[in-house]
Amino acid sequence: MLDIRLIREQPDLVKSRLATRSPAHVETIDAILAIDIDRRAAETRLQTLQSDRNRLSKEIGKLRAQKLDSADLEAQVKKIAEEMDQASTEAESLSAKQREILLNLPNMPQADIPMGRDAADNPVVRTHGEKPVIANPKDHVVLAESLGLIDPDRATKISGSGFAVYIGQGARLERALLNFLIDTHTREHGYTEVSTPFVVRRECMVGTGQLPKFEEDMYGVDGGGLFLVPTAEVPVTNLHREEIVSAANFPIQYAAYTPCFRREAGSAGRETRGLIRMHQFDKVELVKICSPEQSNAELESLTANAERILQKLGLHYRVIVLCTGDMGFGSAKTYDIEVWAPGQNSYLEVSSCSNFEDYQARRMNLRFKGEDGKNRYCHTLNGSGTALARLYVALLENYQQPDGTVGIPEALQPYFGADKISK
RNA sequence: GGUGAGGUGGCUGAGUGGUCGAAAGCAGCGCUUUGCUAAAGCGCCGUAGUCCAAAAGGCUACCGAGGGUUCGAAUCCCUCCCUCACCGCCA
């Protein structure tokens, strides 16, 4: 959520930065400024009435204490109360309207984010490794089915399309990856492991920005009061919602595994083959909470931490920076890490690392005490470290052997318990 | 799920209709004094919104959340959430 004060005091700055996402935001800013003026006028009116009421009510108290007649004053206050009803209805409605617009307004991209319309405009920042030479690469679905790692038909039978059943070595590989990821981030990168509930309350979803705008993409349970987590970002970042955390602990760093549940409404037919786009997939998420001064440097280290996974697994990848038109709703800057998948003949996004600056912190009222003793909003960041299903795809497709087996990278062997997967 | 008790400022904890944003203590900050690693005295010390060009200052709201009663609510009533204790059930 953007700061209404910033919008009020520097509307042109906010407009120009939001316009890099979409020109339509300019009108929204004008609308919100108009509402802001009305809202403050209504609140001032209400406060004046409240002040009058309080003053008169105190006088009534004094008169009654002296056993004097207070009927006149009481009539006056009663009249004020009627006006107050109207004023407070107006103030509340304007305030709710303003909040609604603010909650649906995306974050401002940082000034140096490349301009662009969509994914085609995302510049490559760096690449690592080389594409392996594989003649007629098979895709992961063929590989996994022939090795008996997954059972798509039964997955569909029990849950419908977009769900996976892993079996035998296939399930073990998933679990091995999970432990490898968590161990790497906690032992080598200094993150604290955290295990959270997989369902969260509505206000958490608002806090990290999934709601109110993207409700149709989420799985609601319990009549809409609770939601299945679409990413561990939601429960983990919200651990400190409504808190004033100590800056002495900055950067706070958490690594968490959760399954991720996404309806993927509107993306039917896109990248739907195999394990690439699922309604449920496993992911290890990295979350950082820090000061505004630290957040850009922390984004670099968080991205490097996620990259380290692919390096250890010997996978070729590239890092891109998302252009203004392709950035996520709440982000001020995002790097995507894309791993090469020979069977797809394309790169697959396995991590998205974002600096949200104070956008989420303001929504969830997450603050720290500044050196001057004033409360300031924290900056929050998160990134996948990494998504499991797509990493799984990349492993199978990159390490497929001519004899039909799949090799296991050395770093993963202690976790998997073997150096290859064969029938 | 049942019964009972309770949710007040960073913490502990008073306060059952008006002078209460809220006693007191602890913690924190500042000053003074004595001095050996501490003590005493004094003062300050919640959050947010809003008014003013701004500062100073004013006003408003907030005692778990939301509604109601009343001229006036931390205090009375209703609903919900949460915590604790015991009972029941249970991986």
CA dist A234 → A53, A106, A149, A209, A366 (Å): 44, 17, 30, 9, 14
Quick: pLDDT tens for A81-129: 889 988 888 988 899 899 889 999 999 999 999 999 999 999 999 999 9
Domain boundaries for CATH 1.10.287.40 within chain A: 4-103
A357 CA → B27 C1’, Å: 32
Find the Å distance, CA of residue A51 to C1' of nucleotide B59: 7
Tens digits of per-residue pLDDT, A392-422?
Answer: 999 999 999 999 999 999 999 999 999 999 9
* Residue A30: alpha-carbon gap to chain centroid: 27
Tens-digit pLDDT profile for residues A147-191: 999 999 999 999 998 999 999 999 999 999 999 999 999 999 999
As annotated, the residues of chain A forming the CATH 3.30.930.10 domain(s) are 119-421
Q: What number is the average pLDDT over the span A347-361?
A: 95
Can you give the pLDDT at residue A272?
A: 66
Measured in angstroms, what separates residue A381's CA from nucleotide B81's C1'?
Answer: 30
Query: How far is it between the farthest Cα atoms of chain A?
Result: 103
Quickly give A44 CA vs B42 C1' distance in Å. Answer: 40
Cβ of A273 < 7 Å from strand B?
A: no
Please give the residue that has the higher pLDDT: either A370 or A364. Answer: A364
Going by pLDDT thresholds of 50, 70 and 90, the confidence category of residue A378 is: very high
Beta sheet of A333-341, edge-to-edge order: A124-128, A317-321, A333-341, A346-355, A379-387, A280-290, A252-261, A192-194
Which range, A222-226, A233-237, A369-373, has the best average confidence (pLDDT)? A233-237
Nucleotide nearest to A84 (CA to C1'): B60
Is the C-beta atom of A79 closer than 7 angstroms to strand B? no
pLDDT at A345 over 80: yes
- Domain A119-421, CATH: 3.30.930.10
pLDDT tens for each residue of A43-75: 999 999 999 999 999 889 888 888 888 888 999
CA distances from A401 to A20, A24, A223, A419 (A): 46, 51, 49, 12
Shortest-distance nucleotide from A78 CA to C1': B71
pLDDT tier at A201, thresholds 50, 70, 90: confident
- Tell me the mean pLDDT in the region A296-305: 98
CATH architecture classification, A4-103: Orthogonal Bundle (1.10)
pLDDT in tens, A236-287: 999 988 888 888 888 999 999 999 999 987 666 556 678 989 999 999 999 9
Rounded-to-integer distance, Cα A349 and Cα A374, Å = 40
Burial A362-375 (b: 16+ CB within 10 A, else e): bbbebbbeeeeeee
Give the per-residue pLDDT at A191: 97
Contact flag, residue A64 CB and nucleic strand B, below 7 A: yes
Nucleotides in chain B near protein beta carbons (<7 Å): 18-19, 47-51, 58-61, 71-72
